Structure formats: structure tokens, C-alpha cells
Amino acid sequence: MKLQADALHITRSGKKVLDGVSFSLKAGEIYALLGGNGAGKSTTLLSFLGFISPDAGSVRVNEKDVYSDIEAARKAIAYLPESASLYEHLNAYENIDYFLQLAGLSLSKSSIDEALDRVSLKSEAREQKLADYSKGMCQKVTIALAMLRDTDILLLDEPTSGLDPSAIDEFHQLVRSLADAGKAILMVTHDVYGACNVADKIGLLYNGKLMQEFNAQTEKINTETVHKAFSTTVATQNS
Ligand SMILES: Nc1ncnc2c1ncn2[C@@H]1O[C@H](COP(=O)(O)OP(=O)(O)O)[C@@H](O)[C@H]1O
Ligand SMILES: [Mg+2]
């Protein structure tokens, strides 16, 4: 297994945020964690990076307990946070170069161009400051950056929020091709249809509990069924 949560319990500011969450994913799989606001999705991702330690249970990366070697876990993972923090006064190359350096990497302009080609960021935009970019263009830069880290594991926190439908489709195709190339991808989303389209497994998180899991490898995932299960839990949570 590339990622594994086992009976994970987490408390933040005195509140139980994750309540016995268990799931796992292998190389080549896309797992979509679906849930409403405050369900505990981002907390789950942060625990794999060793930022929030469990009260009970465990998180494993490459079969190894995250908290026994946090550095090893972080090295194995590229993480796309909920709100990407790129620099507006720098262009795409400069942003990527800067963040790769922070990760201890230095790559040629041609490898950066290759990644920017894969996310289809127009060549004429690459030397422009990000202040002039749309949300979708910024997202392409962060995805290219995550790809250039060339890790086995990607954690994506609401990667499609704010993207238009064609950018979402394009993004899902890219994610699929990364999984087909052997990466394990854990993706957090509100988007039921997107999750059903792209994911091999879907976990429904509600109030810190994994209520239900759908597995496209063993059953055909029916979008209506997932949507119904999702809206029932979210509706309950918000009432
Ligand atoms: N920085 C924080 N400090 C303390 N508690 C937090 C913090 N962020 C989130 N929480 C708590 O954790 C719960 C789950 O948050 P989060 O994992 O961000 O949910 P999601 O990503 O599903 O919207 C929230 O309802 C909130 O109570
Ligand atoms: Mg979140």
C-alpha cells in the first residue's frame, strides 16, 4: 500500500475531527475523499504529511508509520494545498523554480516546459507574472509543480474548485494518466460527478467518519447512488 489510514482518531482544538477513519490505496489508484465542509478531509491529508498527529490509530506511507519518520513520508508525497500559495509577482518558471529549490530540486527549463506542456499552459503565458493569471492558469502551475516533484504519491486538496468544466475534464484526464503511470493519488473534493468519473475508490466522509466506500474495481460506481448518499449526509450535517 502507498497510503493507509487505520482507525485514525484526531482531535483539533478539543473537537473530535476524525473518528476511526480507515482506508488505503495502492500505486496506480485514485481515491476520492468526498465530504461537506468541516467533514475532516483536509485534516486527513495533513495527517499523512505528519502535521497533525493521531490520538489513536495510525497513518502509513509506503507501509511505514508517518510519525516514525516524518521526513521520509514528506519526501514521498507531493501535496497540493487547498489554497495554493504561489507568488503573484513571479512568472510561472520563477515560481516553479523557487518551490522546487525549497524541495531541494533543480530542474532544467526544458523539463519545466515539458510539465507545463502536459498541463497545457500556453507558452506565451509562461513569462507573465501570475498576477495576470486566471484561477485555472494558477492551478495548472501548481499541478505542474506537483508533477515535477516526481513523487509516487500525490495529495490533492480540492484541486478542481474554481475551475470551469472543460478545465476540470482536462485536469481529470491528467490525473488519470498520472495514475496509469503508477502514481497513487488521494484527492479531496465536493464534486460527486468528477469523483465518479475519475476515481477508482470513493470514500464518503461525514463528521469525521468514513460512512461508505465505493470501489470501481469491484462494482460499477453509479453516480446517482453516490450523489444520493452524499447529499443525504451533507444535508444532515448542515441541518
Ligand atoms: N486550524 C485548525 N485548528 C483547529 N481546528 C481546526 C483547524 N482546521 C480545522 N479544524 C477543525 O477540524 C474540522 C475538520 O476540518 P477540515 O479537515 O479542514 O475539514 P474539510 O477539509 O473536510 O472541510 C473542522 O470542523 C474544525 O472544527
Ligand atoms: Mg478542506
Report whether residue 83 contacts ligand 1, using a CB cutoff of 6 Å: no
> pLDDT for 112-138, tens place per residue?
999 999 888 999 999 999 999 998 899
Burial-class residue 172 by CB neighbours within 10 Å (0-12, 13-18, 19+). buried
Domains and CATH numbers, the chain: 3-85+152-238 (3.40.50.300)
Best mutation site among 43, 46, 155 for ligand 1 pocket (most ligand atoms within 8 Å of CB)? 43
Transcribe the chain into DSSP letters. --EEEEEEEEEETTEEEEEEEEEEE-TT-EEEEE--TTSSHHHHHHHHTTSS--SEEEEEETTEEGGG-HHHHHHHEEEE-SS----TTSBHHHHHHHHHHHTT----HHHHHHHHHHTT--GGGTTSBGGG--HHHHHHHHHHHHHHTT-SEEEEESTTTT--HHHHHHHHHHHHHHHHTT-EEEEEES-HHHHHHH-SEEEEEETTEEEEEEETTTSPPPHHHHHHHHHHHHHHHH-
Report whether residue 43 contacts ligand 1, using a CB cutoff of 6 Å: yes
Provide the whole-model pTM: 0.93
Report whether residue 204 contacts ligand 1, using a CB cutoff of 6 Å: no
> pLDDT for 129-182, tens place per residue?
999 999 889 989 998 998 999 899 999 999 888 788 888 888 899 999 999 999
Q: Which atom of ligand 1 is nearest to the CA of 46?
A: 17
Across all residues in the chain, what is the average pLDDT? Answer: 93
Report whether residue 41 contacts ligand 1, using a CB cutoff of 6 Å: yes
Report whether residue 42 contacts ligand 1, using a CB cutoff of 6 Å: yes
